[in-house]
Amino acid sequence: MLIHIKRDTEVFGPYSIEEAREYLSAGRLFLSDFAQLPGTTEWIPLSAVPGVKSVPPPPVVPQTECVQPARSQTNPPQKKKRSDDLVTGPVIRDLLIVLGLQGGGIGIVSFFAGYAGESPPIGTTGTIGLFLGTVGFAISGSLATGNRWEHLVKVASLTTFAYVILSGTFLQDYSFGRLLMNVAVAFLMMGLGGALSYLFKRR
């Protein structure tokens, strides 16, 4: 049996059923095309022609692109920043605040005393340094974002280290007594300033 094939306005054929099945397998014909059987004038879907539907499915073409697995929506755990680092940006900032206030205050007093041709009274520079250092630690405690006292202890430790360097450089004093005094002064200012910081920031 020979059939004609019609697609849109074009007519092909005649083809035998075997040829139509081969063309379907090759993708040259489609089941949606229309066919005309011998001795008829009616066009029917090719899928309705007896013997055509038994055509085997077209071979599966293997995909050449690798499908990558979907990424997990959860982000990998971030490494937590260590809280036990001694030297951090906020600690250095507050160290400079403490030393800057002390150095500025003592420098102003010494300048005016020298301008008057006199030496500062005994204990004046130490008292001013203690007061301004306490103010510096109060500011440091107010600026602390984490544990207040943990932060203040770090600032006091670096302040002590700075005192040791300054006393060794300008006073040539590397004695153990000077070291103990530096530690005592730094942590005394820390305690007083930390307590005062609660007046400005309770938590």
Give 12's pLDDT tier (boundaries 50, 70, 90). confident
User: Which residues sit opposite 35 in a β-bridge?
Assistant: 5, 44
Distance of alpha carbon 177 from alpha carbon 51, whole angstroms:
110
Q: Flag whether pLDDT at 178 surpasses 60.
A: yes
The full set of domain ranges for the chain reads 2-48, 89-197
Closest to 156 measured CA to CA, from 199, 185, 130, 135: 185
In the sheet with 10-16, reading across from the earlier edge strand, the strands are 10-16, 2-7, 34-36, 44-45
Instruction: Quote the tokens at residue 170.
Output: 């300008």
Closest to 105 measured CA to CA, from 113, 95, 93, 116: 113
Q: 166 and 113 in contact (C-beta within 8 Å)?
A: no
Q: 139 and 94 in contact (C-beta within 8 Å)?
A: yes
Note the pLDDT tens digit of each residue in 98-155.
Answer: 999 999 988 898 888 888 888 777 788 889 989 999 999 999 999 988 899 999 999 9
Reported pTM: 0.55
Strand 10-16 versus strand 2-7 pairing type = antiparallel
User: Which residues sit opposite 45 in a β-bridge?
Assistant: 34
Closest to 107 measured CA to CA, from 139, 135, 129: 129
Give 65's pLDDT tier (boundaries 50, 70, 90). low
Average pLDDT over residues 47-69: 62
Q: Flag whether pLDDT at 85 surpasses 80.
A: no
